[in-house]
């Protein structure tokens, strides 16, 4: 009985082993090798890339000035108000300062006194000169003293004239005039108010004047794109007050330097506003076209690898992979501008990946 059971076990084990060896997933079955994936390449060329960028901007007054009183005094007349349109030289405000009129009268009196003294000393000197023509009548010493007195009185007269002009000029500061044509946008005083220079009677400007017939469209271009912006480039902009309209302008001024806080370059375009359709301070959405330099290298985005080691492309050199670190520039659709140690006609991989190692042979 024991031998019969052992015989049956041997037969069952043999059948099981034979079945495993003939199964489709058995250890003896070998899969066919997959063909190697084709590596796509392209030749590097220089090209010009264009992309559109939208950045916020602001419409500001072409000229703006905060007007303060040059001298302390009281507001006597206020000839303008908020919204008043003025011309250059127009009187905006007059002040009164009684002590200044006293100073002017005193300066005028000193001037007349010095004129009288000089007239007398000059007449005395002239008489002595005529008398000295007769030998022995006037000593040389008396003649020299008379001349010195005349010159001294003349110097005092010039000083009195200068003092009178100074006080008279200061009196002119009692009248505040418009330096250019524009619109009064702020008024911080009333008749009878005590005003003066900033910190000496006026913390706020008495008036604010803006030239709004022409506005400046101001934008701040980020540092990475500032090199692609050029004077004369056309920009399109929209404002919230006229959402359905599109306006155009040309960049006429570039600061040529980066703002230390924003790390951006200031650019300005002039916008005509004679009809007053825009208000100073309006926020605008500015669309501009940025162009790369004609000597820039342009590659497909798939040729770039962004890894922890940096951004690079893979160049084919003698059938082997060579990583070249690059910096990205402008991007447009599936293309991107790159800068690095590259040369025209270099052969690069169209689809690069981190799996391709440095020096790896490429089929």
Residue 103 pLDDT greater than 90, yes or no: no
> Per-residue confidence at 219, pLDDT binned at 50, 70, 90?
very high
CATH T-level fold of 296-349: 2.40.420
Q: Return the pLDDT at 7.
A: 53
Whole-model pTM: value is 0.64
Mean pLDDT along residues 288-298: 80
Whole-angstrom distance, CA of residue 57 vs CA of residue 63: 17
Whole-angstrom distance, CA of residue 194 vs CA of residue 189: 9
Q: Where are the domains of the chain?
A: 52-61+213-291, 98-172, 296-349
Which residues are registered as beta bridge partners of 217?
59, 269
CA dihedral angle for residue 148, residue 151, residue 157, residue 159, rounded to 10 degrees: -100
Distance of CA 11 to the CA centre of its chain: 94
Mean pLDDT along residues 196-205: 73
pLDDT per residue over 321-331, tens digit each?
889 998 888 88
Q: Give, to the nearest 10 degrees, the angle between helix 140-172 and helix 98-131.
A: 160
Q: Return the pLDDT at 25.
A: 44
In this structure, of 7-11, 201-205, 222-226, 335-339, the range with the lowest mean pLDDT score is 7-11
- Count of CA atoms in the C-beta half-sphere (13 A) of 205: 13
| DSSP letter (8 states) at residue 304 | -
pLDDT per residue over 234-275, tens digit each?
999 999 989 889 999 999 999 989 888 888 999 999 999 999
Most confident of the ranges 53-67, 296-310, 337-351: 53-67
Burial class (CB in 10 A: 0-12, 13-18, 19+), 226: buried
Q: Return the pLDDT at 23.
A: 43
Instruction: Judge whether 56 and 286 are in contact, CB under 8 Å.
Output: yes
The token duo for 85 is 């349109």
pLDDT per residue over 168-199, tens digit each?
877 888 899 999 999 999 999 999 988 888 66
pLDDT per residue over 134-150, tens digit each?
887 888 888 888 889 88
Q: In sequence order, what DSSP letters do the residues of 96-136 get, joined into one string?
A: E-HHHHHHHHHHHHHHHHHHHHHHHHHHHHHHHHHHTTSTT
Per DSSP, the three-state class of 302 is: helix
Mean pLDDT along residues 109-131: 89
Q: Return the pLDDT at 92.
A: 95
Q: Return the pLDDT at 252.
A: 94
Residue 15 pLDDT greater than 50, yes or no: no
The token duo for 110 is 């000193």
Does domain 98-172 sit in CATH 1.10.20? no
Average pLDDT, the chain: 84
CATH T-level fold of 52-61+213-291: Elongation Factor Tu (Ef-tu); domain 3 (2.40.30)
Instruction: Judge whether 267 and 226 are in contact, CB under 8 Å.
Output: no
Whole-angstrom distance, CA of residue 361 vs CA of residue 363: 7
> Per-residue confidence at 27, pLDDT binned at 50, 70, 90?
very low
Instruction: Judge whether 287 and 236 are in contact, CB under 8 Å.
Output: yes
The C-alpha angle with vertex 302 and arms to 297 and 304, in degrees rounded to 5, equals 60
């Amino acid at each position: 009985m024991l031998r019969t059971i052992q015989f049956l076990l041997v037969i069952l084990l043999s059948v099981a082993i034979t079945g495993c060896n003939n199964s489709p997933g058995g250890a003896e079955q070998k899969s066919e090798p997959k063909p190697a994936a084709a590596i796509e390449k392209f030749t590097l060329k220089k090209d010009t890339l264009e992309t559109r960028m939208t950045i916020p901007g602001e419409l500001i007054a072409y000229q703006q000035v905060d007007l303060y009183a040059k001298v302390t005094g009281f507001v006597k007349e206020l000839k303008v108000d908020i919204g008043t349109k003025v011309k250059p030289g127009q009187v905006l405000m007059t002040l009164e300062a009684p002590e200044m009129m006293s100073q002017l009268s005193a300066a005028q009196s000193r001037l007349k006194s010095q004129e009288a003294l000089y007239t007398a000393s000059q007449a005395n000197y002239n008489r002595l000169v005529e008398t000295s023509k007769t030998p022995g009548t006037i000593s040389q010493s008396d003649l020299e003293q008379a001349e010195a007195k005349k010159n001294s009185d003349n110097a005092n007269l010039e000083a009195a004239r200068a003092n009178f002009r100074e006080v008279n000029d200061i009196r002119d500061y009692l009248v505040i005039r418009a330096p250019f044509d524009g619109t009064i946008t702020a008024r911080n005083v009333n008749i009878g108010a005590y005003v003066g220079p900033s910190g000496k009677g006026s913390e706020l400007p008495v008036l604010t004047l803006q030239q709004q017939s022409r506005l400046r469209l101001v934008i701040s271009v980020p540092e990475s794109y500032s090199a692609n912006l050029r004077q004369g480039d056309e920009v399109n902009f929209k404002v919230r007050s006229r959402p359905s309209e599109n306006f155009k302008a040309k960049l006429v001024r570039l600061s040529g330097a980066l703002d230390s806080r924003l790390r951006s370059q200031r650019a300005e375009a002039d916008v005509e506003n004679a009809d007053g359709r825009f208000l100073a301070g309006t926020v605008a959405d500015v669309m501009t076209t940025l162009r790369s330099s004609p000597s820039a290298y342009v590659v497909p985005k798939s040729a770039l690898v962004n890894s922890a080691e940096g951004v690079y492309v893979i160049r084919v050199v003698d059938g082997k992979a060579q990583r070249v670190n690059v910096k990205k520039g402008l991007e447009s659709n599936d293309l991107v501008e790159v800068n690095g140690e590259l040369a025209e006609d270099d052969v690069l991989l169209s689809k690069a990946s981190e799996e391709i190692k440095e020096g790896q042979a490429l089929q």
